[in-house]
A and B are shown apart, each in its own frame.
Chain A
Amino acid sequence: MTWTWLIGAVLFLILAPIAGGLIAGIDRKITARMQGRVGPPLLQPFYDVGKLFEKERAVVTTAQNFYVLAYLIFIAVSGALFFAGGDLLLVIFAFTLAHVFLVLGAYAVHSPYSHIGAERELIQLMAYEPMIILAAVGLYMVTNSFYVADIAVTTVPAILYLPGVFLGFATILTIKLRKSPFDISTSHHAHQEIVKGITTEFSGSTLAQVEIAHWYENVFLLGFIFLFFAWNPVIGIIAVVVTYLAEIFVDNVTARVRWQAALKSGWLAAVLGIANLAILSYMMLGGV
C-alpha cells in the first residue's frame, strides 16, 4: 500500500489556500498594472479574508452557513482528490456537487439579487460542464487513464493531440475563474448590474469561506491545465503561467456578455473539443 496519494491530498489541503491567495494577489497586481495603477499589496487577498473573519456574524438565514460550508468542504475534498491522483471524472462530479451547494445557498436566502445570481451560476455550470467532461475524456484518449496519477506521469505530449480541447478548456476556464467576459453570476470587480449576484447576501466569515473555496478551485484548475503539458514539467509550469496571464489579459480587455452568449460560448467550445476528439479517434483507428 503506497501512501503517496495521501501526501498529495494533504499538501493540497494545506498549501492550496496559500497558493490560491498568492495567485489572487498577483492577479490583482497585474490587473492594476495593466490599468496603469500601482495596485494592492501582494498579500491583499489574505488581508481581505482575515478581515471578513473579524466581522460580525450577520446572516439572512442560518441555513446559508450550512450550504456555504458544504461548498467549501466539497471543493476542498474534490481538489484533494485531484491532487491525490484520483479519477478525473469523479473529481469533476464532486466539483459539480460543490457548486450546487453554493447555488443552493444563494437560493436559500430568498433574495432577488442572489436569486438571479444563482440562476446565472447554473447557466454557467451548464455552459462549462460539457467541455470539462470532454477534456477529461480527451486526456483519457491520449493517456489511456482517467486517473490523474497516471495522466500526470505520462510521457505523451497531450497538448499536441488535444489543441482543440485545450482551447475549449481555456474558454470555459474564463467562466470558472469568474473572469470577464463571463463573470455573469458574480464578479471580482466593483459593481455589477445585479449587485454581487450569487454572493450578495453572504457577509463576514461566510463570504470568506466562498473566497477560500475559490482559491482552492483556482489551484485545481491550474492543475488541470498542467495535465495537458504533464510530459514536461518545466513546459507545464510555463504553460500554466502563460495561460493564467492570458486569462488576466482577457479579463481586462473584454466587457461582460449576456448569459446567452456565455452559454453559447461554452457549448461552442465543447463543439471544438468534440471536433478535436473526433479527429483524434479517427487517427487512432487509422493507426491501429
Chain B
Amino acid sequence: MADKIWFLIPELILLAGVVVVSVLGLSPRKMLRDCLPAVTIAFLLIACVVTPFLYDSDHVSRFHSVMPMLGKYVNMMVCIVGILLALTSAGLIDRRQEASVQSGRAVFDALRANRGEYYAFFLLSLIGVMLCAHANDLIWLFLALELTSLPTYVMVAMSRPSRLAQEAAVKYFFLGAMASAMFLYGFALLYGSTGTIVLTEMQAVFTQQADSEAGINTLGIVGMLLALLGIFYKIAAAPMHFYAADVYEGAAAPVTAFLAFVPKTAGMLAIIMLLSTMGWFSPSGNLPQPILTMLWMVAVLTMTLGNIGALLQRSVKRMLAYSSIAHSGYMLIGIIAGPAAGGTGIDGLGAVLFYLLAYGIMNTAAFSVLAGLERNGQEIESLEELAGMRMRHGLMAAVIAISAGSLLGFPPLLGFVGKLYLFIAGVNAGQIALVVIAGLNSAISAWYYLSIVRQSIMAQPGPQSEVVVRGEAIWPRCAAFLAALAVIIVPIFSWGLMKAADRVTNSPDQLDLLSETQAYQAVKTDSRNP
C-alpha cells in the first residue's frame, strides 16, 4: 500500500493545489485572485519536477500494475500541457464580474466568484488523468475516468456567460453519463468473465484462456468491446464522436483546448490499460481478432468522418473539433499496432503517447490564438474573423499558421514527427492499408488546415475582422507563442521523448529484462554502424 501512496505523491501535491486555489479564489483581495493561474502553474511545476525522482526508486518493482512506469511519462506530459492550458485560460473566468469590481460598479461577492473553482476543477481533472495511468483495477480506472470527466462538465458551463456554453455542458453531461454507463456495463461483463477486477490478475486469466483451446471467452470479448465503446466517447472516436462539434463550439476556447486534450488522454490511457490485459503481453502478442477488427473499423471511420466533417465548417472551433476527432483516429493506429510490434523495437503505444503530447501542444497553440484575440469582447471563432490577421496581429497569425501546419503533419514540425512515428508503427505491424488510408486522410485535411492559413495570412481584413483586437490578458498569447515555439523546436530533440514514451509502456516482465534489452540494443547499434 505504501508503494501505491508513494506514486500518488504528484496527485496529492495537485490535490493540495486544489484546496489552495479554491480558497484563494474567494479572497476579497484582487491581487490574490489574479495570481490563481500562477499558483496553479506552480503546483503543476512541482508535480512535474517531483515525478522522475519517484520513479527512480525501487518502489517500481513492488508496484503492481500492467505498466508500472506509465505514470512517469503521463504525469510529466499532463503537467507540461496543463501549464500551457492554465496560461491559456488566465483572465478568462469571471471577466465581467472582475471588470465591474475594478471599475467600482460592484463589490466583490464571494458567492458569485467562480475563478477559484475553475482552477480547482481544472486541477482535479488533471489528477483524474494521472490516476488513470496508475490504475490497477477496474473500479480505480472507472473512478479516475469519472474524475477526469466530471469537472469538465462544470468547466464547460462556467467557461463563458452564454446559453451556448450551458447547452453544451448539459449535452456533454448527459451523453457522458450514457457513455459511462456503457463502459461500466462492459467492466461488469469483464468481471463476470474473469472473476477479478484487478488488471494484472485479469491479464493472467486472459492469457490462460488464450492458451487454452476455447480461446478467450465470449463474455470477456463482449465486455471489452462495450468498455471500449464507452471509452471512445472520451476520445471522441466514431461512432461516439457526434457530441464533439457542438460541445467544443459551446465552450470557451481555453476549455475547448482542455477538452480536446485531457479526456482524450484519459481515454487513450484507459484503452491501453484495458487492452494490455488481453493479448499484448501474452506469448502470441496479438489482440483477439474481433477487437482488432473493431479497432480497425473505428480508426478508419473516425479519421474519415472527422476530416470530412471538418471540410464543411465555417467556424474554426468546430473545424478544430472535427480535426480532434480525426486525430483520435490517427492515434488508434498506434493502439492497433500495439507494443513491440514486429520485433524491430518500434512501440505503437509509445507512438500514441508521443502523439498525445504533440497533439496537446499544437492543439493548445491553435486554441490559445482564438482565446488571445477578441472581437466585441467575445473570443473569435469564425474563419472570417481570422481574415487579415497577418497585418494586424502578425505573431498570432504566424502561430496559428504553424499550428495548422503541425496539425496537418507537415514536415519538419512536431505533428509530422508524431504522425511519422505512428505511421511507422502501423507499417511495422503490417497495417499497410490503414496507413495508406491515414495518409489519404491527411491529404484531405490539407484542404481545411490550408483554409485557416489562407484566411489568416493571405486574406484582406474584412468587416468582421476589422474590429478584432488583442485580448486583455497577455497570457493566452504567451501560451500560443510558447506552444508554437515548442512545435518548431521539439522535433529536434524528439528522439529522447520517443524513447521515454517507449520505455514506460513496458510490462513488469519486460522491465526485468530491460537491462538485457539495452545491452542488446547497444550491440545492434554497433552492428548498424560498422
Q: Do A and B come from one complex?
A: no
Listed in ascending order, the chain A residues whose CB lies under 8 Å from chain B are none
